[in-house]
Amino acid sequence: MGHYESPEAAYFAFLETFNARDADGWAGVNSWPHARVSAAASDSSIHWRPPTRIFANAGEYLSAPLWDELEATGWARSESSPPRIVQFSKVKAHIAGGWTRYNADGQAMASNRVVYVATRTRDGWGLQAQLKTDSFVDGRDYSVKQAAVLAAVESTLALLGPGRIDEYCAALTYPFTLIGPPGVIIQIESAAEMAAAMRSVGDDRLDAPSGSAQMVNCGDSGANVAFQIERDGVVQEALALLGIRDGAWRMLAISGI
């Protein structure tokens, strides 16, 4: 279980232990359960694992020998991007970051942009989830895609105010991952299940302030967006991972602060 004094310390330890090939230390950065959600489609060559994986414990997380796979590609080490805290509370933080992989000659091989969800338990801060764009190319202009992503988020959230719950749920991609308070990760399998879950919490009015969506990071087919939701007039911060599904930008996961 994560035991670091700050979200940033857990973030840097993630790759420090990874570069050291320290399996126990690497798993020890995380909090459990731990989710890895990728915006890459399941048939994409960019990501070789299922788009969504939820690990109950360190044993499940370390079941695949990742270092062997990477070293076979020529990988020698990875470097973290500078972290940026996007949203924060006493027990949860959204960290915009990522990594670049290098070979033994110091040449960059690949980069990614990720939002790491850090949560705080009695032991300290650890990483509860990774929301991965898995399609980022360093130096590429993503301004057009960013505009499309923000428009998709705004149009989806706009369904909440009028209470169009069924339409909102149909606009998401399933399985859909909800990252809640420390120790809580929920996977929703269908729009009908999502609608039932939303209605079960009562008659709280949900609304999304217009223009609250802010781009965090973006790739060719994945993006993370921060936004706000009002629940009976109380503003809550949240972040969504989006991916391209059926030719449109759709939400794959949400983490609330």
pLDDT of residue 89: 98
Residue 54 tokens read as 């939820």
CA distance between the termini of the chain: 20
pLDDT in tens, 211-249: 899 999 999 999 999 999 998 888 999 999 999 999 999
Contact of 125 with 215, CB cutoff 8 Å? no
DSSP per-residue codes, 126-158: EEEEEEE-----TT---HHHHHHHHHHHHHHHT
What pTM was computed for the model? Answer: 0.95
pLDDT in tens, 52-109: 999 999 999 999 768 998 999 999 999 999 999 999 999 999 999 999 999 999 999 9
Return the biggest CA–CA distance within the chain: 59
pLDDT beyond 80 at 22: yes
Average per-residue pLDDT for the chain = 94
pLDDT in tens, 196-216: 999 887 666 788 888 899 999
Band of the pLDDT at 2, cuts 50, 70, 90?
A: confident
Of 216, 247, 257, 199, the closest CA to residue 115 belongs to 216
Mean pLDDT of 169-197: 97
CA distance 38 to 137: 16
Q: Which domains does the chain have, with CATH numbers?
A: 7-132 (3.10.450.50), 143-256 (3.10.450.50)
pLDDT of residue 42: 67
CA distance 21 to 51: 24
